[in-house]
A and B are shown apart, each in its own frame.
Chain A
């Protein structure tokens, strides 16, 4: 187990993608998650760290070793890529044991290691079958086991290890993986395009777009303080609602004015004072909004807002419901973490709290608060 340091790595991958000055640290014993939309650069970084691609410039250190120019097998990294590439003519046991060959362990030790990981991954019953006879989920577990079998690696690289699975199996594998990671306590670099997976698994999250690191930090921090609109939209349980508006002063009060509503945000004076009379984008996370069916009486507190609208549509997702509330001509998404049914077209009130609003500079997209 060792710390990974990527320093100023630049690499041109044809016209569509260039990794630009990538710098980050993956701490010892933690999962560092690279999150980006497709073709954002995460696989490139995995390949560079694994030694499959060369850097144009920059350095990669693992522990106290400079591994930038080392051959893959000299790096002491273990990897698994999205395309599983199991050996079809070997059985599951031999597949999992294959990375152990170079270590020249006694056979009993190999058996112990393979059985230990197979047990944890719940594939003990498949050990003497060929990969071709297994289900997709089982094959994925075999590939994960092969990547994670104790093999003296300092770093484990997993590039979209769960992407090919059914939604259902993926969700249950995610929780299992988190427990497994705690047990084996290794440094991991984990790439995924799925923000939910990233938020759930990461100790440290690195958000990339078009070959650049946009933001890095703990998942909680990035979720609460997305640096710009892109991160706010991409990193969340569901895409954030964005509403265009501007901040104006009315006498003593500071007002956020949008096409849909006006709310008083005087309490935020300190954070917005440099943006008075300028255009802003209001961000409302669907999971932090509520739908209220009964007309609220008097305003209960200055911090709680009610906006009238109508139910445009709703959909059930797993054990949640997404309600689409139409206000003027804009649709606002609300995520309720339970299953509820709505009549289309009924009047409802969107409820949200002052502390949960995000404001972005409309032009630069940067977070104001």
Chain B
């Protein structure tokens, strides 16, 4: 049982004649609690794999410290860390049997044969590999290969298990099943798991806490629910959710001692924010965030609603995603997710969008930071 602590971790890749210097990670500070799953989530190039490699010891950080419990491991070689790493593409030794593949990490540690036999059997049973232990690994499907690689990572019972998109190279069906195996492993093992992925579903499902990264910076380190409901920045708001939050420019106006948020480019739509005006006073421009699934859409005019035209309808069996053209800025398209019904507008039809205030989030445009959750 060890907690992993990152203290102001940064990584700069030095420039050369060919490439400019790049700051891959800056100021990553977080505590990953023991026996929990922490996700590092972000788009390609956000620095998540660099962070993971630093924790694994493959590539030490250029600044900051990494601790496993109280031990400074920043510059310790991988082999002395008791951390196992699982990659996106399974590394499996083709010419060895499944048994030998699983046993390999133990054999190199000079563990006696009996113990190896016992541990391989246990692990194989746990992952459902018992029937193919004697088979050669060559030609097995990708999902089995990834299971073998997972087995090899957990067989030596590492204190820290580092996973780098282990599911993303699999087809959806095997991904589902392997994800279930992985959950089982995580729950029953005494280990701290760090799970790196660009796929928010994986992160939201598997992780107790998630660090959302973009361009080398951690934008939010929080529980999945909070990341979804109260994103700390406009980036998180856009990135989390499928599709993410609509982000709409607006301004605060005062009238008769009360404060209102008005959506730029749209008249007759306003929300009273007197209660939170102090949090918004410093902001030059404000961004209103609302999730597509919380917007009410009607074909007839409603008070305080935004008029628009339906551009695209993507139907998903029980619900639909609609692209609505409005006068909002900076993006005039507002996405709406709504259950399928006979009342759904047609393409090119006129519609009206209503935002329930409890689901409105207000951000400072310049910094992108969350300022107001209107329910509070």
A interface residues, Cβ below 8 angstroms from B: 37-38, 135-137, 166-169, 171-172, 174-175, 178-179, 193, 196, 199-200, 219-220, 223, 236-237, 239, 285, 287-288, 313, 315-320, 335, 337-339, 341
Contact = CB atoms under 8 A, between A and B. Distances in A.
B242 A237 contact: no
Given A168-B200, A178-B312, A178-B314, 17 more contacts: A135-B44, A136-B44, A137-B44, A167-B201, A168-B239, A168-B244, A169-B43, A175-B243, A199-B316, A200-B314, A200-B316, A239-B172, A287-B316, A315-B205, A316-B205, A319-B228, A337-B318
Contacts of B243: 171-172, 175
B293 interface: yes
19 contacts: A137-B44, A166-B44, A171-B243, A174-B314, A178-B314, A179-B311, A179-B312, A200-B316, A223-B317, A236-B317, A239-B173, A287-B316, A287-B317, A288-B318, A316-B224, A316-B228, A318-B201, A318-B242, A339-B228
Contacts of B224: 316
A38 B171 contact: yes
Interface string B141-182: 000000000000000000000000000000111001001100
A167 B199 contact: yes
The 6 A-B pairs of least Cβ separation, nearest first, read A318-B242, A315-B205, A287-B318, A317-B201, A316-B204, A287-B317
B323 interface: yes
A335 B319 CA distance: 11
A167 B339 CA distance: 23
B27 interface: no
A237 B171 contact: no
B293 A168 contact: no
A285 B180 contact: no
B337 interface: yes
B321 interface: yes
B350 to A, nearest CB: 18
B198 interface: yes
Interface of B: 43-45, 171-173, 176, 179-180, 183, 198-201, 204-205, 224-225, 228, 239, 241-244, 291-293, 311-312, 314-319, 321, 323, 335, 337, 339
A282 to B, nearest CB: 17
Given A287-B318, A288-B317, A319 B339 contact: no
Contacts of B337: 319, 337
Contacts of A219: 315
Contacts of B179: 315
Nearest to B197: A167
A236 B323 CA distance: 21
A279 to B, nearest CB: 24
Nearest to B176: A239
Contacts of B312: 175, 178-179
A239 B172 CA distance: 9
A205 B292 CA distance: 27
A238 to B, nearest CB: 9
Contacts of B239: 168
A319 B171 CA distance: 21
A167 B198 contact: yes
Given A37-B171, A167-B198, A168-B200, A220 B315 contact: yes
A168 B43 contact: yes
B43 A319 contact: no
Contact of B201 (A135, A196, A316, A341): A316
Contacts of A166: 43-44, 198
A166 B41 CA distance: 12
B200 A167 contact: yes
Q: Most chain-B Cβ atoms within 10 A of its Cβ — which of A166, A168, A169, A237? A: A168
Contacts of A318: 200-201, 204, 241-242
Contacts of A287: 316-319
Contacts of B323: 175, 179
Contact of B198 (A168, A193, A315): A168
A88 to B, nearest CB: 13
Contact of A315 (B172, B173, B201, B244): B201
Contact of B293 (A169, A179, A319, A335): A319
A229 to B, nearest CB: 14
B315 A319 contact: no
Given A179-B311, A237-B316, A337-B337, A319 B242 contact: yes
A220 B172 CA distance: 22
Given A167-B198, A319-B292, A175 B321 contact: yes
A169 B179 CA distance: 23
B43 A337 contact: no
Contacts of B315: 199, 219-220
A185 to B, nearest CB: 14
A239 B177 CA distance: 12
A215 B43 CA distance: 36
Nearest to B205: A315
B291 to A, nearest CB: 7
Nearest to A313: B180
A320 B198 CA distance: 17
A135 B45 contact: yes
Nearest to B206: A315
Contacts of A169: 43
Contacts of B321: 175, 200
A350 B249 CA distance: 42
A168 B323 CA distance: 17
A335 B318 contact: yes
Contacts of B173: 239
Contacts of A200: 314, 316, 321
Contacts of A193: 171
Given A318-B241, A318-B242, A338 B204 contact: no
B356 to A, nearest CB: 14
B108 to A, nearest CB: 35
A255 B314 CA distance: 36
